[in-house]
Amino acid sequence: MIDVHCHLNFKSFIDDYDDVIREAIEAGITHIINVGTKIESSKKAIDLALKYDNLYAIVGIHPHHADKLELETNWLEQLNDLATKPKVIAIGEIGLDYFPYKSNGIVDKILQKEVFEKQIEIAFKYRLPLQIHNRHASNDILEILNYYKTSLQPIPGMFHCFSGNKDFLTKVLDLGFYIGFDGNITYDGIAPGETTMLSDLVKNAPLDRILLETDSPYLSPEPHRGSRNKPCYAILIAEFIAKLKGISLEMVKNQTIKNTHILFNLK
Ligand code: NI
């Protein structure tokens, strides 16, 4: 199995990432992809990838940080540089987030769009796939992707922690995107502001477009909900997908590995 989106580069793993990586490898995780959310965490993702054979990095600015970029001098220049480093396999997590968070509300939408678009252009420049973060912003993301449609690569990227409705799913599949599912597919009910059960989206997504991801340290699958998530729990997500689709765990494991290699051109 491969965890295509986690954050061992974040503070919550600072004391024990070696152990967490070892545990994941013992549990059958063959590759771990750490994702940056700003310049600093993107650099850390690269540092980790250089330390371990089976780790890779995705670099980018999360929409939450779109209004804090004045703190990062020359962020565009820096991100351009990071995109060319060895073991960097995509630009992410980038996108739009319109969920009203208690801590920082909604970051200015115009700023979010600007930062997203500039990073899409970096991905085009280096022919890297996109790893997209979308929360309650499906329409605006589609509008931006359609604007860039003729420049998108044949396999343009993936949606991380997929949510939305079936119509949105159909549209992003039509554009060629892959779909990442996380531990929240094991949660009961529909998340606030959403209209469709994640399990329905899993059932509707073709297996040859699905990727496994944990978003560690967040979104632990049941029965670990509420505690720190880790890449070895990808197995629980794979089991849940197998059950929802009525297929074997082996099929989910094999196909998601194949999908990851195709999307990220992994060796
Ligand atoms: Ni994430």
**pLDDT of res. 105:** 87
Q: What is the mean pLDDT of residues 147-163?
A: 97
- Which pLDDT value is given to residue 103? 81
From the CB of residue 242, how many other CB atoms can be counted at a distance below 10 Å? 17
User: How many angstroms separate the alpha carbon of residue 37 from the centre of ligand 1?
Assistant: 8
- The proportion of the chain whose per-residue pLDDT surpasses 70, expressed as a percent, equals 100
Distance CA 219, CA 56 (A): 21
User: How many Å lie between the centroid of ligand 1 and the Cα of residue 7?
Assistant: 7
pLDDT value of position 70: 72
Rounded Cα gap, residues 255 and 267, in angstroms: 16
Average pLDDT score, the chain = 96
215 alpha carbon – ligand 1 mean position (Å): 5
Residue-wise pLDDT for 182-231, tens only, equals 999 999 999 988 999 999 999 999 999 999 999 999 999 999 999 999 99
Q: How far apart are CA 116 and CA 58, in angstroms?
A: 15
Residue 205 and residue 16: Cα distance in Å, rounded?
35
Angle, in degrees to the nearest 10, between helices 109-125 and 138-147: 40
What the block records as the tokens of 129 is: 């796939």
pLDDT recorded at residue 104: 77
**Interior angle at CA 24, CA 226 and CA 43, nearest 5:** 85
Question: Which helix or strand (DSSP H or E) is residue 27 part of?
Answer: none
* Model confidence at 267: pLDDT above 80: no
Does 5 score more than 80 pLDDT? yes
* Domains of the chain (ranges, CATH numbers): 2-264 (3.20.20.140)
pLDDT tens-place string over residues 56-109 = 999 999 999 998 887 677 999 999 999 999 999 999 999 999 998 888 789 999
| 5 Cα–ligand 1 center, Å | 6
Is the Cβ–Cβ distance between 155 and 128 less than 8 Å? no
Q: Which of 242, 222, 235 is nearest to 23 (CA)?
A: 235
The more confident residue out of 100 and 49 is: 49
> Which residues line ion ligand 1, judged by CB < 5 Å?
215
Q: How far is the CA of 26 from the centre of ligand 1 (A)?
A: 23
Instruction: Print the SS3 string covering 191-228.
Output: CCCCCCCHHHHHHHCCHHHEEECCCCCCCCCCCCCCCC
Residue 233's pLDDT is 98
Beta strand 157-160 with 130-135 is parallel
